[in-house]
Structure 1
Amino acid sequence: MKEKKILVSAVLLWNKDVKYPAGDFKKTIESILGQDYGAQEVIVVDGSGKKAPTPYLNDAIAKKVKLVAGEFKNRAAYFNAGIAKAKGGYILLVNTLENAIEFRKSAFDTFVIAAERNPDAGFIFSDYERIAPDGKVSEVHLLPYHQGRLRDAVDFGRAFFFTAAMMKKLKGLKEKYDAADLYDLRFRAEEKGDLIGIANRFNGSLYSVKEQAGAFDVFYYLKAGKKVALELEAACTEHLKRIGAYLAPGQNYRPVKYSPADEKQFKCLFTVVTPVFNRPEFIRDAIESVQAQTLGRKVEMIVVCNGGESDPTCAAVREYMKGGSKYDPKKPDVDLIVTDINNLGLCFNLGLKKARGKYYLQLDSDDQLTPDCAEKTLAVYKTDPKIGLVVGSYEVWEKKPNGELFRREDIPVVTHDEWTEENGRNNLLRINGAGAPRSAHIKVIWEMGGFACNDEPYSRNYGEDYGLVCKIIEKYRMGRVWDPIYKVIRHSGGTDHAINQETIDRNDNAKDHMRLLALVRRMQINAK
């Protein structure tokens, strides 16, 4: 008996401001009409206006397409207009406003079989091919979904396959969001069912996307704009509230307590711990930025060289130690620990075990503190004994190949506005960075178990600080320094400079797992 197929309604978007040729959009339509599956309808939602021309339609195609023309206030309104016209038992939302997309002939067969196997799925997504302007094709392998993937930048591709029943439960997209509509939709879908990804080993992508691959930009979230950031924060916060992982302002805070005996043990206030591997050209500037602190000898620095004794960085550090050519007893002490294992968590923990200070202060080996960094951080600690962590603000500088430093004027002072008193610790789960510079009570760091030393899934000298911050802010208040007190120095040898997709994915896996653990802890806090 011939199988009766369930109709698939594909919703596509277009308007006069689309940057790619109408001929490419016509290919998107044709790739859907030509599916092997054979039971599909195409709904084009065109926001150019009711009487606007449709250069992507010819007479033959126009007869097979449902055209929904008008003016729509945002992408969510486009999609909702198309969903309202859909007759299928399945609904495929295709985000075609930014990129041209072309489906392989068996794509709908694959989506439908996956939906039959996972009838309760929130939605189904798939790997895809990226086609650069020069024609080069690269395969994009998307990360399997889990509840810890809270970042707004998680890639789900451009096509989202729903059952009509699930879309009815979701009630479409929320038109109050101009930018966070799809972000919010996937959260609400996840709350009702698993998000299922169809993976590609090779030659297995369901569609291609024409776009410029571009270099990864770690500052993408800063350039998105305040309005976009607030929308994304709101969508994430509402999700955390619905799943019981939201922490209210002041919830679960407690003071950091010291006995008189504890206070007497401190020989200084701040201990700067800096791991380093083969960076003699940077470490001198980092050390001198510590020795220029206005708090003077109330600050110390411990450099942990993880390249072994043969690392030339060791000799550079010893110049500032007793007996060295640059030693000055009036300036903050510099100490050196040498290890032959390149493990950042190990370095931090070794440094903190030798620390004489009350507070830890972050300084990467290629960055610099401003002279008032420690002083301004201390002032924040003094305002509230419940503050266990202080996050500052920084400027971004770049080092040219000739050694010249210049300020990146295209990037404003990074004040981490997402770290608000009311919602910062919830918003952190959406953002990939914990801010810089970071400082914490050393006692609190040990209370949290210290820094992870690559003993958490996917971690390879990445995210050990982020996971620690997630733990601290669940129990202690975070203080802020809004003035720039740190200089991030970008250069070709930096760990986040022009990294490849494999590294990006590994790093995202590491922090997303930390977010997953944070969700579990927060749910336990709220269950008390």
Structure 2
Amino acid sequence: MKTNIVLHHSKSAGYSQEGWVKTLQSVLVQTGKDFEITILHDSDSDISAEIEALNTSAVAITVLKLQDEPQSVQLQKAFENSNADGHLYIDNRTQQVVLKKSALELLGLTVKNNKNVGMIYGDYELLENNEVKEIRLLKHHIGRVRDNQDYGKVFFFTAEALKNSEPVSADVQFNAIYDLRLKISEKFELLHIANRYAGSLYQVVAQSKAHNVFDYLLASKDSQLEAENILSGHLKRIGAYLEAGAHYTERPKAGSEATLKASVIIPVNNRPEFICDAIESVQAQTVKEVEVIVVVNGGENDPTVESVKAYQPGGEKYDASKPEVRLLIHDMNNLGLCFNSGARIARGEYYVQLDSDDRLTPDAVEKVLAVYNSDPKIGMVIGSYEVWEKDASGAITRMEQIPVVTHDEWTEENGRNNLLRINGAGAPRSIPIELIKEIGFSMNEEPFARNYGEDYQMVMKISERHRIGRVWDPIYKVIRHAGGTDHSIDQNTIDRNDEAKDFMRKERIQRRIKLNK
């Protein structure tokens, strides 16, 4: 099998010319010998001397001189320039990538053994501060539709898949590989080569940064809109796209036990130092027909229990003129259990979210109710929030570098489709209590579920049959602190969370295909 190996010589490279030479060297010494090389050259430097010095085996090397062309156009020209059976693309534009000597031979055998393969990607090593880390990627399935999913820096595309899939879109400026992999996945398999020990296909030399759940907020608007359009096209081609307004029905009527406007359900485990502020933010609501249901899931000995009892009759913070604080105690930390059991005893028409370490603004419930009152087909209301930080003294300050999180990528026309591309939908979320009783929160029965993503899954389910209403003003304060679940997160946790949500996406995409039929 003849292979066209494509790599960059880029003016945007974040490493030295010596590093680029190492990339080219790693290509030229491959044990698989039937290949040619295409270099996408968009810098002003002359690389002919380096090529001549390294190319002792007279490998056919083509240098395509390109200036200010997006990645999509560069790839299209590289593929069209060769009649090879496959293309091994190395995305070394900003990071040095070094192939293992046997990479091409392994890829060729993989293609031979898998007749419907369209793209192959594999685990890799990350060299950071002279330390090698093994990066293990997730295996592709129909639910892996996020644009920020890591598929690595090296990709093998079969010529057959490129020929028989939707073509690379030349107007794609930011998300060429995302566009290409989704298109290939519609007719061909995307195969992942896994590494257990010393089996990575290549090494990336880079300075990685700590994971931050708010990174997506800093992505350019143009890039976000482009990725949305790419996903929408993919969903349409596989029959999973939901047209604007399709399948909407009216939300269920409130039950006879709904004597209040809203029930704020707060699941909590061992956070006595936060729960008081959360409770008091509910009691300060402009709408007084509310209740607080605190569900402590650490058992009777959880210190949060005594903090909550202080707001009940006989407690030092009890005030009969304020909204009632009710208490449920479970001896197992299962968020689905907390939400479902809280909804079962709720006296409010609507559930309103509040995490134990966060706070509602005083007008939160008022603004949520106004949205519900605007349309009987609205089955969920999602607000906007600010991010605050709590220091060691207990003081909180607004994190000005993070803008108000509105999730304005949610549009009336396309929000529920675009939801599949991103990991969040906004906060706080509100759901009619009757709808919770009907659908029910997940209780970790799905693969990979570990008290993560159950609210995201509810958004996906409800949006198939009801409108999602939005409050664009900030009505919620997310408090970041050292003990928060988003403050410090390792790669294994990131992967486990991604597995959970991607499995949920898989289920919903398959459901939508059936729904459209």
| Pair in the same fold by TM > 0.5 | yes
Q: CA deviation at 1:14?
A: 2.3
Matched residue, 1:23: 18
Q: Say yes or no: does 1:295 pair with 2:290.
A: no
Trace 1:263-278 onto structure 2 (pairs within 5 A). Answer: 264-278=256-270
Greater CA drift, 352-361 or 212-221? 212-221
Kept in 1: contact 2:340–2:436 (CA 8 A) = no
Cα offsets for 1:26-59 (capped at 9, x unmatched):
111110110111222221111125xx42288253
Q: CA deviation at 1:171?
A: 6.3
Kept in 2: contact 1:13–1:78 (CA 8 A) = no
Kept in 1: contact 2:232–2:241 (CA 8 A) = yes
Kept in 1: contact 2:340–2:437 (CA 8 A) = no
SS at match of 1:483: strand
Matched residue, 1:328: 319
SS at match of 2:431: strand
- 2:372 aligned to which of 341, 356, 381: 381
Greater CA drift, 377-386 or 462-471? 462-471
SS at match of 1:123: strand
SS at match of 1:417: coil
CA distance in 1 between partners of 2:370 and 2:333 (Å): 34
- Residue identity opposite 2:208 in structure 1: A
Kept in 1: contact 2:12–2:94 (CA 8 A) = no
Kept in 2: contact 1:395–1:484 (CA 8 A) = yes
Name the TM-score, length of structure 1 as normaliser: 0.95
CA distance in 2 between partners of 1:8 and 1:195 (Å): 18
Matched residue, 2:399: 408
Matched residue, 1:286: 278
Q: CA deviation at 1:247?
A: 0.5
SS at match of 2:27: helix
Matched residue, 2:500: 510
SS at match of 2:246: coil
Q: CA deviation at 1:525?
A: 1.1
Q: Say yes or no: does 1:188 pair with 2:178.
A: no
- Residue identity opposite 1:183 in structure 2: Y
Q: CA deviation at 1:263?
A: 5.6
CA distance in 2 between partners of 1:364 and 1:130 (Å): 36
Kept in 2: contact 1:32–1:40 (CA 8 A) = no
Which residues of structure 1 form unaligned runs of 5+? 1-5
SS at match of 1:485: strand
Matched residue, 2:415: 424
CA distance in 2 between partners of 1:115 and 1:144 (Å): 17
Kept in 1: contact 2:166–2:184 (CA 8 A) = no
CA distance in 2 between partners of 1:151 and 1:472 (Å): 20
Matched residue, 2:4: 9
Q: Relative to 1, partners in 2 of residues 1:464 and 1:287: Cα closer, same or farther, differing over 3 Å?
A: same
- 1:501 aligned to which of 485, 491, 499: 491
CA distance in 2 between partners of 1:105 and 1:22 (Å): 21
Matched residue, 2:158: 163
Q: Say yes or no: does 1:393 pair with 2:384.
A: yes
Q: Say yes or no: does 1:77 pair with 2:73.
A: yes
Which residues of structure 2 form unaligned runs of 5+? none
SS at match of 1:320: coil
Q: Relative to 1, partners in 2 of residues 1:466 and 1:500: Cα closer, same or farther, differing over 3 Å?
A: same
Kept in 2: contact 1:45–1:81 (CA 8 A) = no
Q: CA deviation at 1:457?
A: 0.9
Trace 1:139-288 onto structure 2 (pairs within 5 A). Answer: 139-170=134-165, 172-258=167-253, 262=254, 264-288=256-280
Q: CA deviation at 1:342?
A: 0.7
Kept in 2: contact 1:122–1:194 (CA 8 A) = yes
SS at match of 1:265: coil
